[in-house]
Amino acid sequence: MPDNNLIEIQNVSFSYDQRPILKKINLVVPRGKVVAIMGGSGCGKTTLLRLIGGQLKSSGGSVKVDGEAVETLNNDQLIRMRRKMGMLFQHGALFTDLSVYENIAFQMREHTNLEEEIIHDLVMMKLHAVGLQGASQLMPSELSGGMARRVALARAIALDPMLIMYDEPFAGLDPISLSVVGELIRKLNDALGATSIVVTHDVQESLKIVDYIYMVSEGVVVAEGTADAIRSSEMPFVHQFVWGEADGPVPFHYPSRDYADTLLGRIQ
Amino acid sequence: MNRTIMDIWVGIFVAIGIAATVFISLRVANLLSSTSAATYQVHAEFNNIGGLKVRAPVKSAGVLVGRVTDISLDTVTYMALVTMDLEQQYSFSIDTSASILTSGLLGEQYVGLEIGGEEQKLQQNDKIMLTSSAMVLESLISEFMFNKAGESK
Amino acid sequence: MKAIVLLGHHVNDRLIRLGYITRFLIQILLQSGTCLLRPRLVLREIYFIGVQSLIIILVSGMFIGLVLGLQMYDTLQRFGSGEGVGTVVALALVRELGPVLSALLFASRAGTAVTAEIGLMKATEQLSAMEMMAIEPIARVIAPRFWAGIISLPLLTSMFNVMGITGGYLVAVPLLGVDEGIFWSNMQSSVDFSNDVLNGAIKSVVFAVAVILIAVFEGYNSPPTAEGVSNSTTRAVVTSSLSILALDFVLTAFMFRGI
């Protein structure tokens, strides 16, 4: 193996309509690990995933995946790169006009010339891995939120990717589905020998399953470390985030003028 | 949705669509009988063509034998030069006369051909020498009035 | 001064949009290879776009024909040429009403469905997911719908015309007592294949491109929210209806000038 890091992000900046989202952010994801990227809503976590997937282009710095700089790839190279990646979208993003079975078979049909029987076996294996073999003929609209997430997970690993990205895999799930999905992320990563990036703001669940954590705030990494290190961190921001305190370094109040002044009508 | 059912529906859809197109082409526009016959071209010069238009019918003894394809003004003689396509199956003698007639009192104008007595037949690009112009209603009426006025003197 | 700025802004906006939509069309054409290799993709969309518009097209065509027959006969009768009703119905349908009305119905039935579907796929990140699976959404989602629309609308227009002429026939012959032979022969002698039928067909192909292109464009570019999708759908209907009428005027001016 040429180097131990599957993903290296160096000094990457990105702005959206002149609003800076990422400011010279640095982070690395070692091979075979499950890494969480945490931070409040809108701090640029999803943007980071899109940069890795090449759906967005950074305005500075370099994003290296498996030794190749994503921003320098042409369209064909990008497509080849993406075939090594699987991604779970925020709300599953299952194809609503296809059955569960067809959703998982989709990439196999598009990218390979496998026999129908082999596709059938592969799809069933993936569904079995997420425990939904019995739901193969259902349509996405007939699934509960947790089931849909698991199907999406099965679809993300359909072609045995070397990198699996999860965009808010825990959002909107009940506690049981939450731990099911959490455990699946860990198990699938180890079983496939893949590398996983989990973007989330669900601290407790992700601390249980991940190897390493990056805390992102206002476009930069503010803290990093293993689950234990983060839990016991004394940094005020980390503490506020992990323990879910309403007020702290991240203020409760949106920046505003003095409250008393506003009420007394001294300023408009 | 079952694939086979979808296939059947799309098959029916395309079949009906093509059938409809064929129906319009054949039954409504009468494609077969209007263009299948080979044609030859003849010309004729008229003093006045009245309201004759391109694509007006050419008839002989009331039977449709061709269509007017072009109308232009001969700038030497200042006569109207009418070109028409006649169907190959009908041949006319070289001294055929052409006149511009009206179907009904106010109907469309067409070219009427009247056969002559010569043995020789009209060929491609021949010219019909004997022509009579359109009856223009306004000039007929004014002529009539003029004559009446002359009589009453 | 403000009005001029506003006007300039609007014109600029429209031109920029026109540029985008042209570029989008070129992209679709460049990525249509997948459709050729896998006709099943297009076939599926013909089902959703064409077959599902069948009922509205057939029923509307029939009623338009019936009404046209009644009205035209009434007017023609005053000039003593009631037998011409077949001619008028057929010419009106084949040249104008068939292509234009079918396209308007198609825009509101199939066009909106396509815009809403693509908009929803975008809002639920299905298009993004496809991109991440190294599958180009334009080739896999947009192009099949585009071609299905272009195949479907001319066929639907033909069906509309036939239903309309049948409607005219039903009113004229059994109801009003026009002679059947005269009805058809009058029609046949005045409807020309290349001038009327072919021009009508060209119109419906042009309308098909306009309607389906606007539908997929609005869907693909709709903001990924529920509100965005519904706005895009509305805009797709309005824009495509207006384009149909404007294009119809331009095409008619070119086609039927000399006749």
Which of chain B's residues have a Cβ under 8 Å away from the Cβ of C152?
A: 13
Residues of C with a Cβ under 8 Å from any A Cβ are 120-121, 124-126, 128-129, 131-135, 140
Residues in chain C within 8 Å Cβ distance of A78: 134
Q: What is the pLDDT of residues A58-85, one digit of tens each?
A: 888 888 888 888 888 888 888 888 888 8
C6 touches chain B (CB under 8 A): no
B109-152: pLDDT as tens digits: 888 888 888 888 888 888 888 888 877 777 778 888 888 887 76
| Helix, coil or strand: residue B43 | strand
Phi and psi dihedrals of C79, rounded to 5?
-100, 10
Contacts of C159 in chain B (CB under 8 A): 16-17, 20
Structure letter (DSSP) for residue A70: G
Max CA separation in chain A (angstroms): 76
Selecting from C47, C158, C258 the residue whose C-beta is nearest the C-beta of B17 gives C158
DSSP-derived pairing of the beta strands A5-16 and A60-65: antiparallel
Beta bridge partners, B63, equal: B60
pLDDT of residue A226: 85
Q: Is B30 on the interface with C (CB under 8 A)?
A: yes
Q: How far is CA A6 from CA A189, A210, C76, C224, in A?
A: 14, 16, 82, 32
Q: Measure in Å the smallest separation between the Cα of C240 and chain A Cα atoms.
A: 26
Residues of C in contact with B16 (CB under 8 A): 155, 159
In a mutagenesis test of the B interface, which of C44, C47, C166, C185 is the best target, namely the one with the most B β-carbons within 10 Å?
A: C47
Nearest CA to C156 out of C89, C116, C218, C107 is that of C107
Stretch (H or E) spanning B63: strand B63-74
pLDDT over threshold 70, residue C254: yes
Does C132 contact A95 at a Cβ distance shorter than 8 Å? no
Q: Does the pLDDT at position A55 exceed 80?
A: yes
Contacts of B151 (CB under 8 A, 6+ apart): none
Look at B89-93, C119-123, C163-167, C232-236 and tell me which has the smallest mean pLDDT. B89-93
Contact B29 C184 (CB under 8 A): no
Across the interface, whether the CB atoms of A82 and C124 are under 8 A apart is answered no
* The Cα angle at residue A173 between residues A167 and A176, in degrees rounded to 5: 120
Distances in whole angstroms, Cα of residue A48 to Cα of each of A63, A172, B48: 10, 21, 83
Searching chain B, which residue's CA lies closest to the CA of residue C49?
Answer: B10
Nearest CA in chain C to A157: C133
Whether C258 has a pLDDT exceeding 70, the answer reads: no
Residue with tokens 């690990």: A33
Please tell me which of the candidates B20, B30, B57 has its beta carbon nearest to residue C158.
B20
- Is A95 at the interface with chain C, CB within 8 A? yes
- Judge whether B27 is closer than 8 Å to chain C, CB to CB: yes
The pTM for the full model equals: 0.79
pLDDT tens figures, C193-219 = 888 899 999 999 999 999 999 999 999
User: Residue B136 and residue B134: Cα distance in Å, rounded?
Assistant: 6
Q: Please state, in angstroms and as integers, the Cα–Cα distance from residue B89 to each residue in B32, B115, B116, B121, B124, following that order.
A: 16, 15, 18, 12, 13
| Mutation target vs A (from C41, C114, C126, C136; most A CBs, 10 A cutoff) | C126
Q: How far is CA A21 from CA A57, A60, A167, C245, in A?
A: 13, 12, 17, 45
Q: Given an 8 Å threshold on Cβ–Cβ distance, is C124 in contact with A87?
A: no
Report DSSP state, residue C138.
I
Tell whether C248 lies on the interface with B, counting CB pairs under 8 A.
no
Of B7, B24, B30, the CB nearest to C161: B24
Cβ distance A89 to A166 under 8 Å?
no
pLDDT at position C45 is: 92
Q: Which of C40, C45, C51 to mutate to test the interface with B (most CBs of B within 10 A)?
A: C51
B146 touches chain C (CB under 8 A): no
Confidence of residue A1 (pLDDT cuts 50, 70, 90): very low
pLDDT of residue A268: 55
Q: Which residues does chain C have within 8 Å of residue A55's beta carbon, measured at their own beta carbons?
A: 128, 131-132
Distance from CA of C205 to the nearest CA of A (A): 28
In C93-179, alpha helices (H): 98-106, 112-123, 126-132, 137, 143-170
Q: Which of A15-24, A180-189, B84-93, C142-151 has the highest mean pLDDT?
A: C142-151
Strand bridging mode B63-74 / B79-87: antiparallel
Residue B68 confidence (pLDDT): 86
B4 to chain C: closest CA residue: C44
Q: Which amino acid is at B77?
A: T
Residue B70 β-bridge partners:
B83
- C130/chain B closest Cα distance in angstroms: 22
Chain A from 31 to 90: CB within 8 A of any C CB? 53, 55, 78-80, 82-83, 85, 87, 89-90
Q: Residue C132 is nearest to which of A85, A106, A111, comparing CB atoms?
A: A85
Q: In chain C, what residues touch A87 (CB-CB under 8 Å)?
A: 129, 132
Gap from C17 CA to chain A (nearest CA, Å): 19
Tell me if chain B has a CB within 8 Å of the CB of C49: no
Does B21 touch chain C if contact means CB atoms closer than 8 Å? Answer: yes
pLDDT of residue A237: 79
Query: Residues of B75-84 as b/e, b for ≥16 C-beta within 10 angstroms?
Result: eeeebbbbeb
- Of A159-163, A164-168, A215-219, B23-27, which gets the smallest average pLDDT? A215-219
Q: How many residues does chain B have?
A: 153
Q: Is the dihedral of CA C151, C153, C154, C157 positive or negative?
A: positive
> At B32, is the pLDDT very low, low, confident or very high (cuts 50, 70, 90)?
low
Return the pLDDT at C115.
96
pLDDT at B107 (0 to 100): 67
- Put simply, the answer to whether C134 touches A96 (Cβ < 8 Å) is no
Average pLDDT, chain C: 91
Q: Which residue of C has its CA nearest to A84?
A: C133
Rounded to whole angstroms, the Cα distance separating A194 from A84 reads 10
Q: What type of residue sits at position C183?
A: F
Asked if pLDDT for residue B26 goes beyond 50, the answer is yes
- Does the pLDDT at position C9 exceed 70? yes
Spatial distance between the Cα atoms of A185 and A25, rounded to a whole number of angstroms = 25
What would the mean pLDDT of C45-70 be, rounded to a whole number? 94
Whole-number pLDDT of residue C131: 86
C44 to chain A: nearest residue by CA? A97
Please check whether residue B5 touches C, CB under 8 A.
no
Q: Looking at A31-59, which runs of residues are DSSP E strands?
A: 34-38
Interchain CB contact of A107 with C (< 8 Å): yes
Q: Are C161 and C92 in contact (CB under 8 A)?
A: no
How many CB pairs below 8 Å do chains A and C form together? 45
Q: Assess contact for C167 and C69: CB atoms under 8 A.
A: yes
Instruction: Say what the pLDDT of residue C1 is.
Output: 82
For the ranges A56-70, A216-230, B67-81, the one whose mean pLDDT is highest: B67-81
Chain C contact present for A239, CB below 8 A: no
Strands B97-102 and B130-132: parallel
| ipTM above 0.90 for this complex | no
Residue B36 has pLDDT above 50, yes or no: yes
Closest CB to A90 among C120, C125, C135: C125
